[in-house]
Amino acid sequence: MQVWNVYSHVAYSTKKERRFLQRCLNTRIHECLERCPNLFPEPPYKSDAEQQSRLSRYDRKVDGKLVDFLAEQGYGRNIAACATYVMSVWPSFPTLKRPPISPRVQKAMEALQNGTKLYVFNEKPNSPLKCGAALRMLRSVNTDEASIAIFNPEEVTVIDGYIPLSFVVSITLGLEPVEQSRHQSRGGKILCSDGDRRFLETPKRAFTIHCAAPDKFYVTFIAPNQMTMDNWTRVIDYFVLLNACCRTYIQSR
């Protein structure tokens, strides 16, 4: 096996391609951010000599310094991945018309790309069921589009369902009346399941994503902790705003 890894043409080509991609990674990040500069803070004013000097050093050498500059503004390291993710929604929508991404939203997006756990309400007997959820680029009609992927609780690599973020219309906190009447106990708790065991969870961290595609539908979740709740609400709020801006733009043309 070790000999195969050393002398295999396939292994050699794969390693060569990885080295090439790693060498040009910073250039590709820079090019990605240059295509959507309005999503992030504007360069410092020329009157600020110290900041202007610092920014000029970033511009002269494309080696990740631009990401360092944005990190100083509070953004995470995977800012280019988040920019690409956002730009995949309504690709024909002009960049200059899109709402900017705040550091808090970008960091929340970055965290959710790594995946979280959520309790999702569905028609299964053990609903709401604990499952994985993450921001993913999933194939739509002819391109990859930003979506929420909901993973199977047993086969964690299998996607049970997904929500394209271009469908999102609004987000509400708390349970919807149907879920409240079906699942909430007299004590105000929700009986949740992780597949093997059942336990009570508070509905205070419940949120519902309302969509239109064009038929209206919604999906209700419960976050296991407040940090996960905050991350999801920040990201969904951003895409609600983005979709509203896009609708306004289309209607004005």
Please indicate, yes or no, if residue 205 is contained in any of the structural domains: yes
Whole-Å CA distances, 238 to 50, 107, 171: 33, 13, 10
The residues near 220 (Cβ < 8 Å, ≥ 6 apart) are 120, 121, 128, 175, 176, 179, 206, 207, 208, 209
Query: Final residue of a domain: which of 73, 92, 122?
Result: 73
* Higher pLDDT among residues 5 and 234, named by residue: 234
The domain total for the chain is 2
The answer to whether 220 and 207 are in contact (CB under 8 A) is yes
Query: Final residue of a domain: which of 23, 46, 73?
Result: 73
Check which CATH number belongs to the domain holding 138 and give it. Answer: 2.30.29.30
- Output the pLDDT for position 46: 44
* pLDDT confidence band for 20 (50 / 70 / 90): low
Residue 55 has pLDDT above 50, yes or no: no
Please indicate, yes or no, if residue 158 is contained in any of the structural domains: yes
Please indicate, yes or no, if residue 131 is contained in any of the structural domains: yes
Residue type, 224: P
* Higher pLDDT among residues 61 and 225, named by residue: 225
Statement to judge: residues 65 and 132 lie in one domain: no
Statement to judge: residues 120 and 58 lie in one domain: no
* Angstrom distance (rounded) from CA 149 to CA 237: 17
Statement to judge: residues 175 and 245 lie in one domain: yes
Give per-residue pLDDT as tens, 132-151. Answer: 999 998 876 667 889 999 99
Q: Kindly state the percentage of the chain with pLDDT values over 90.
A: 38
- Output the pLDDT for position 146: 92
| Confidence (pTM) | 0.80
Please indicate, yes or no, if residue 150 is contained in any of the structural domains: yes
- Output the pLDDT for position 106: 94
Please indicate, yes or no, if residue 163 is contained in any of the structural domains: yes
Which domain range does residue 207 map to?
110-252
The answer to whether 23 and 80 are in contact (CB under 8 A) is no
Statement to judge: residues 215 and 132 lie in one domain: yes
Statement to judge: residues 245 and 192 lie in one domain: yes
Statement to judge: residues 233 and 114 lie in one domain: yes
Please indicate, yes or no, if residue 18 is contained in any of the structural domains: yes
Statement to judge: residues 164 and 238 lie in one domain: yes
Highest-pLDDT range among 73-77, 87-91, 116-120, 231-235: 231-235
Please indicate, yes or no, if residue 84 is contained in any of the structural domains: no
Whole-Å CA distances, 248 to 49, 166, 244, 245: 39, 14, 6, 5
Statement to judge: residues 225 and 166 lie in one domain: yes
Residue type, 17: E
- Output the pLDDT for position 10: 54
- Output the pLDDT for position 236: 98
* pLDDT confidence band for 63 (50 / 70 / 90): very low
* Angstrom distance (rounded) from CA 171 to CA 175: 11
* Mean pLDDT, rounded, of the chain: 81
Statement to judge: residues 69 and 116 lie in one domain: no
